[in-house]
Amino acid sequence: MKTLHIFNTLSRTVEEFRPLYPPNVSLYSCGPTVYLPQHLGNLRAYLCWDFLRRTLEFDGYRVRHVMNVTDVGHLTGDDDVGEDKIEKTAKAEGKSPLEIANRYLELFNRDCHRLNIEPPTVESRATGHIGEMIELIERIIASGYAYVTRSGVYFDIVQYRGPKSLGRLSRQTLDEQYSAQRLEHSPDKRNPHDFVLWVLNQPEHIMQWDSPWGRGYPGWHIECSAMSMKYLGETIDIHTGGIDHIPIHHENEIAQSESATHKQFVRYFVHNAFLVGKEGMKISKSAGKFPLLADLPAAGFHPLAFRLFCFGAKYRSEIVFSDEAMHAAQTTLDYFFEFARNLPADAPVEAGEWTRAYVDKFGEALNDDLNTPRALAVARDLVAESYRSKDFGAWPALRMLDAVLGLDLEERHKAARTSAMPADIQALIEERAAVRQARNFARADELRKEIESRGYDVKDNRDGSAAYQRRSS
């Protein structure tokens, strides 16, 4: 197994990754709250963790990946205020919460499939794990860090934090954490910073369950601790999420988990930065109109172009979503697609010796804190060298890299073979692709005329790709 170095939010440093039980890795990701479509900003996060998981697998690890689905308890304010997001949408659309959750979970999974995001080993819905949440809350109460009131069961965060009051992950005091928010809370809370584990006496709430403290429903934070423990144990190797989860959600997860188990909850916290618009504003549902994956084809972009767009930026860096950036990603995607489609029928099945350096550099880039931009440059250079040297021993190597790139290049190659061109035409197409890449446009025009004279239509796309089709008689 290769050695991955990754930025750990707990230590604020890039650390060598050492799982508890190699070659096995436990990975937990904060999943979607299924009340609206997931916008491109949301999907960027899931792509980042797909790149991480694929990198671990590329390195030889066996990854058990668990992702929660929040279908109850996530209020419109992360600090336990407002309406339940699922129920708010259900009321607005005149449907049941279950119908809303099922609809938007199906849409989310469809988007992930179109982006070639590997499904998690376990996709766990909050409503299917109420028993586990109740059991964990009982453990927290027994440890002395939670108390029961008329309005709910609350975690005593002030007692847990102690006199210094600093959060281990955010490194902020409670006052600093909540400085930008107006804390609204039940009068029976001991402290406004205490967060809810189980909500009681909310008769208007549609989804409710019996508990030792009365009929109610879970808070948002408790679900991640309960479900991760069920499927991954009491200590997780890697926990992922957006940087917006650091100050509240993930701090609260640590507190409630470790107060119950008295063990370290997470060894490596890994967080992604936001996708932003040209104005520099975070793309979010609260901003109103937000871009969806379904919008991209109408604008001329393949969904996998968005995957490459995200791959072309470091996961810890903000990236600006724009038409210009997407056009560049589409051009790169077409470059890889064209190479896979135009391979000769007798392309090598084993990688050329010269390609080993590219595979090594690709892995080194990924293991350097998931440096996907550098890895992408290596993959492009591999294809360019193949064109220059006319050595298609690059193809088996590129397929290895595609295990992380996730562009389904093998499928493109197979599809091209089922409608393969005659060998002489294929040779002309390959030569033309090479000279176009070398910007020898005069020779490319000569080859175009030759191909057309033999009964084929040639279409050169603005993105640099080309399509060839036999002219109907």
Is there a domain that residue 15 lies in?
yes
Residue 268 and residue 301 in one domain: no
Q: Is 352 left (phi over 0), alpha (psi -120 to 50) or beta?
A: beta
Q: CB under 8 Å, gap of 24 or more: what pairs does 357-365 form?
A: 358/382, 358/385, 358/394, 358/397, 358/401, 359/397, 359/400, 359/401, 362/401, 362/404, 363/2, 363/58, 363/59
Tens of pLDDT along 90-100?
989 999 999 99
Q: Parallel, antiparallel, or unpaired for β 236-242 and 216-218?
A: unpaired
Higher-confidence residue of 461 and 175: namely 175
Q: Parallel, antiparallel, or unpaired for β 62-69 and 122-125?
A: parallel
Residue 343 and residue 229 in one domain: no
Residue 300 and residue 275 in one domain: no
Does an H or E element contain 54, and which?
helix 40-58
The pLDDT, as a whole number, for residue 381 is 98
Q: What is the mean pLDDT of residues 430-446?
A: 86
Is there a domain that residue 450 lies in?
no
How many domains, in total, are found in the chain?
2
Tens of pLDDT along 264-294?
999 999 999 999 986 656 666 555 567 999 9
What are the backbone angles phi and psi of residue 128, rounded to the nearest 5°?
-90, 5
Is there a domain that residue 469 lies in?
no
Tokens coding 434: 């090479």
Is residue 84 within 8 Å of 141, Cβ to Cβ?
no
Is residue 283 within 8 Å of 274, Cβ to Cβ?
yes
Is there a domain that residue 437 lies in?
no
Residue 328 and residue 385 in one domain: yes
The count of other CB atoms within 10 Å of the CB of residue 139 is: 16
What CATH number is given to the structural domain containing 342? 1.20.120.640
Tens of pLDDT along 101-134?
999 999 999 999 999 999 999 999 999 999 999 9
Residue 109 and residue 217 in one domain: yes
The pLDDT, as a whole number, for residue 179 is 64
The pLDDT, as a whole number, for residue 464 is 66
Residue 24 and residue 151 in one domain: yes
The pLDDT, as a whole number, for residue 54 is 98
Tens of pLDDT along 336-358?
999 998 887 778 888 989 999 99
d(CA 29, CA 19): 16
Predicted confidence (pLDDT) at residue 69 exceeds the cutoff of 60: yes
The residues, any chain, with a CB within 8 Å of residue 179's CB and separated by 6 or more, are: none
Residue 319 and residue 263 in one domain: no
d(CA 392, CA 425): 17
> What are the Cα distances from residue 353, in Å, to 2, 87, 287, 360, 376?
20, 59, 52, 12, 20
What are the backbone angles phi and psi of residue 194, rounded to the nearest 5°?
-60, 140
> Which residue among 373, 401, 420 closes a domain?
420
Tens of pLDDT along 392-426?
999 999 999 999 999 999 988 887 766 667 878 87
Q: How confident is the model at residue 383 (pLDDT cuts 50, 70, 90)?
A: very high
Predicted confidence (pLDDT) at residue 309 exceeds the cutoff of 80: yes
The pLDDT, as a whole number, for residue 77 is 53
Predicted confidence (pLDDT) at residue 330 exceeds the cutoff of 90: yes
Is there a domain that residue 402 lies in?
yes
> Which residue among 400, 420, 440 closes a domain?
420
Residue 107 and residue 239 in one domain: yes
The pLDDT, as a whole number, for residue 80 is 54
Domain around 393: 296-420
Tokens coding 136: 């964990």
- Sign of the C-alpha dihedral computed for residues 60, 339, 40 and 10 taken in this order: positive
Which one-letter amino acid corresponds to residue 185? Answer: H
The pLDDT, as a whole number, for residue 133 is 98
Is there a domain that residue 80 lies in?
yes
Q: How confident is the model at residue 434 (pLDDT cuts 50, 70, 90)?
A: confident
Question: Could you tell me what percent of the chain has a pLDDT over 70?
Answer: 91
Residue 139 and residue 41 in one domain: yes
pTM of the model: 0.86
What CATH number is given to the structural domain containing 39? 3.40.50.620
d(CA 371, CA 374): 6
Q: How confident is the model at residue 433 (pLDDT cuts 50, 70, 90)?
A: confident
The residues pairing with 209 across neighbouring beta strands, listed in sequence order, are 216
Tens of pLDDT along 179-230?
655 455 678 999 988 999 999 999 988 999 999 999 999 999 999 999 999 9
> Which residue among 405, 420, 435 closes a domain?
420
The pLDDT, as a whole number, for residue 251 is 96
Average pLDDT taken over every residue of the chain? 91
Is there a domain that residue 20 lies in?
yes
The residues pairing with 368 across neighbouring beta strands, listed in sequence order, are 5
Predicted confidence (pLDDT) at residue 472 exceeds the cutoff of 90: no
Tokens coding 297: 């084809």
Is there a domain that residue 34 lies in?
yes
Q: How confident is the model at residue 259 (pLDDT cuts 50, 70, 90)?
A: very high
Residue 163 and residue 232 in one domain: yes
Q: Can you spell out the DSSP letters for 249-277?
A: IIHHHHHHHHHHH-S-SEEEEEEE--EE-
The pLDDT, as a whole number, for residue 287 is 54
Predicted confidence (pLDDT) at residue 76 exceeds the cutoff of 80: no
Residue 269 and residue 330 in one domain: no
Residue 120 and residue 241 in one domain: yes
